[in-house]
Amino acid sequence: MISRPDQVTPEWITAALRASGAAPPGARVTAVRGSPLPGGQLGWCVRFRLSWSGPPGGPGSLVGKFPAADRRSRLTGVGSAVYRRELEFYTRLARQLPIRVPRCHLAEHDPATGEFAVLLADAAPARPRDQLRGADPADIALALAELARLQAAFWGGTGLAGHGWLPVRGAGGGRRRAAIYQLLAGRFLTRYGPRLSPLARRVLAGFGSRVRRWAAAEAPPFTLLHGDLRLDNLLFGDGRTAARLTVVDWQTVAVGAGAADAAHLIGGGLPVPVRRAHEPELFRLYRRALRAGGVSWPEPHCRYSYRLGSLAGLHLTVVGAMLVGPDPAGDARFLSMAERHAAHAADLAALALLDAGR
């Protein structure tokens, strides 16, 4: 099967777009030019620019996603089942979402080898915000409103029956999440520790001694989670030439407490001083948007879940950094995320919350 960008041919693209209904009758792709996209290290993403013959109307470009070129990252994607999970998402669940996700033209997977290929509609000219610089609070507010619409649609597990491929957070699945963090946190501190602030090192170490309690503490009400709601996975447009927001990279989709995604977005998407200045209003906006979607969630319960959720970004940063191959741009991104999520957890006294629940 096609599992690398250099294997892609005009004939293959034409067949995929005809099957999805995106190629006009009689049209065919005559040339494909690929250019790699920056971002995630667990997948190899390429933008394909297409030349056509025949009737007009086919897309001028597509985004292809394939197994990572780096062997360690590829083995992680296969072993953790995130490749298979994203394919399941696009083929079985994506059309039910009330928010904008890319249209999937093709999703193929070889269970024996873990190889896969996904062809998605190109959201350009929409672009992600710079993870290192951080977003504007207005961008985060937009993303939170869309997040709340998504969560309200699946609140309490509504619409998720029959999707057993979705992992469920909480006491059962939490043991594995805790064990992975404990296995990798020491290596993360060895690799990044000299470049981290004393606060970040303390929070990372303190989380390691409490991570089992944290993983077991996530409790209903549950909903659909993106699981990695950072700026790299949010494409912002002007609302005219591109949708205002398109959410991509659904490898970590799961079922769990919705406030974890909200905390991850706010804590990791804003520079620390900006987050401190705007967090109270952003939290209120998230709750208002949930209420507008018909969700009644008492403020103390939501705030408790949000404080616990501030540690989700820290967990994902440590695990993600140590399970993919080294990369200078990726290292800079992981350092920024570690600092922001550690400061967020410290500001919310998330570790003390776990101590109080012993």
Residues in the chain, overall count: 358
Specify which residues 236 forms β-bridges with: 127, 245
- Decide: 208 and 295 in contact? Cβ < 8 Å: no
Q: How confident is the model at residue 38, as a pLDDT?
A: 79
pLDDT digits (tens, 9 = 90+) for 192-243: 999 999 999 999 999 999 999 999 888 899 999 999 999 999 999 999 999 9
Q: 241 phi and psi, to 5 degrees?
A: -85, -15
Cα 154 from Cα 96, distance rounded (Å): 10
Cα 64 from Cα 47, distance rounded (Å): 6
User: Rounded to two decimals, what is the model's pTM?
Assistant: 0.94
State which amino acid sits at residue 147. L
Specify which residues 106 forms β-bridges with: 119
Q: Which two tokens stand for residue 194?
A: 């000299």
Contacts of 143 (CB under 8 A, 6+ apart): 229, 234, 245, 265, 269
pLDDT digits (tens, 9 = 90+) for 73-103: 777 777 778 889 999 999 999 999 999 999 9
Q: How confident is the model at residue 172, as a pLDDT?
A: 65
Q: How far is CA 95 from CA 103, 104, 247, in A?
A: 8, 9, 13
Q: How confident is the model at residue 243, as a pLDDT?
A: 95
Q: Which two tokens stand for residue 305?
A: 């879940």
Q: How confident is the model at residue 334, as a pLDDT?
A: 94
State which amino acid sits at residue 43. G
Residues of the chain where predicted confidence (pLDDT) is lower than 50: 358
State which amino acid sits at residue 206. G
Instruction: Collect contacts of 30-38 with beta carbons under 8 A, ≥24 apart.
Output: 32/8, 34/5, 34/6, 34/8, 34/64, 36/5, 37/63, 38/329
Task: Report which DSSP code applies to 111.
Answer: T
Q: 211 phi and psi, to 5 degrees?
A: -65, -30
Cα 295 from Cα 147, distance rounded (Å): 13
Task: Report which DSSP code applies to 187.
Answer: H
Nearest to 226 by CA among 253, 258, 260: 253
State which amino acid sits at residue 287. R
Nearest to 137 by CA among 302, 303, 271, 336: 271
Q: For 216, left (φ over 0), alpha (ψ -120 to 50), or beta?
A: alpha
Q: How many CA atoms lie within 13 A of 133 on its CB side?
A: 5
Contacts of 335 (CB under 8 A, 6+ apart): 192, 195, 196
Q: How confident is the model at residue 171, as a pLDDT?
A: 58
* DSSP β-ladder status, 43-53 and 28-36: antiparallel
Interhelix angle 259-269/299-309, rounded to 10 degrees, is 50
Nearest to 290 by CA among 264, 257, 316: 257
Contacts of 317 (CB under 8 A, 6+ apart): 334, 337, 338, 341
Nearest to 131 by CA among 268, 316, 261: 268
- List, in order of start, the domains of the chain with CATH numbers: 5-121 (3.30.200), 137-356 (3.90.1200.10)
State which amino acid sits at residue 248. V
